[in-house]
Amino acid sequence: MMSNQQGAQMRPDSEPTAGEHATGQTDLFDYDAELRLHNELFRAAARVGSRDRVLDIGCGMGQSTREAARAAVTGSVVGVDLSAPMLERARRLSDDQGLPNITYQRADAQVHRFPSAHFDLCISRFGSMFFADPVAAFTNIGRALRPAARLVLLVWQDRDRNEWASAIRRSLTAAPAPPTGGPGPFSLADPTIAQGILAAAGFTQVSFTEVHEPVFYGPDPAAAFDNVLRLREYGDLLANLDAATAEQARTRLRATLAAHNTGSGVYFDSRAWIITARRP
């Protein structure tokens, strides 16, 4: 359920991740509810100023974009994503909330020609881990930032530190998880690798702050079950099973979700990084 894979080679349909939404507009996973606790910390770290021009990479349905727009009262925000259904939803929500200082673009942030040295701040909430060539992607993004502009990313730590990455999949299949190398939700999990990528792309003052918060799958196990099956990764796993095996997998999934029911919602443990950096 998590990872905002958007913008630039983020969240490719062939490789959904925790946090990925289904593509049908009427059946979008509620990513914002899932990441409420993470989002509070991310918003505080972003420190959007009243005059800032903000670029939001992998904006999804636009929660982080709208929050930036409310803070940048005399500034502006551009939200970028690859998902047309999510951008349509984002535009509608922004219009409904009366936020005229937002523009949404369907674009690949890895190669999109942003205005040069234009933005004061670039943010990305679980939307920067899916670049095919991360150095090239962050170099391209860096060109869009003015000198001394800030970069603030929220990314996952290693798979083995994220319960959501293993528990649900394990309930559905005994097949090994996809490798973590290359584009994917854990591509920036190693601080040494992430720092090297950002330094090669021209960023300085790279720092990491740990986020240890649970993620929310639904108010009860039944709702969480429906939410999980909205995610393409898990739907595909079930689709590849015969009827009897698929039903057994569903039974195990229900048991896993019930075991994570706190009484106030179904939660799984997770760990992430807030990465901050600057353009020279």
Summarize pLDDT for 11-54 with one digit per residue, the tens: 333 223 333 333 333 455 666 777 888 999 999 999 999 999 99
The answer to whether position 92 is within a domain reads yes
pLDDT in tens, 71-83: 999 999 999 999 9
Beta strand 102-106 with 119-125 is: unpaired
Longest Cα–Cα distance of the chain, Å, equals: 59
C-beta separation of 79 from 104 below 8 A:
yes
Q: Give me the pLDDT at residue 68, please.
A: 98
Burial class (CB in 10 A: 0-12, 13-18, 19+), 204: exposed
Residue 1 lies in a domain: no
Q: How many structural domains does the chain have?
A: 1
| Higher pLDDT, residue 268 or 6 | 268
Model pTM greater than 0.75? yes
Residue 259 within any structural domain of the chain: no
User: 109-167, pLDDT tens digit by residue?
Assistant: 999 999 999 999 999 999 999 999 999 999 999 999 999 999 999 999 998 999 998 89
Within 10 Å of residue 249's Cβ, how many Cβ atoms? 18
**Does residue 233 form part of some domain?**
no
Residue 13 belongs to some domain of the structure: no
Domain that holds residue 138: 25-162+179-218+270-278
Per-residue pLDDT, averaged over 212-238, amounts to 91
Instruction: Find the CATH number of the domain harbouring 84.
Output: 3.40.50.150
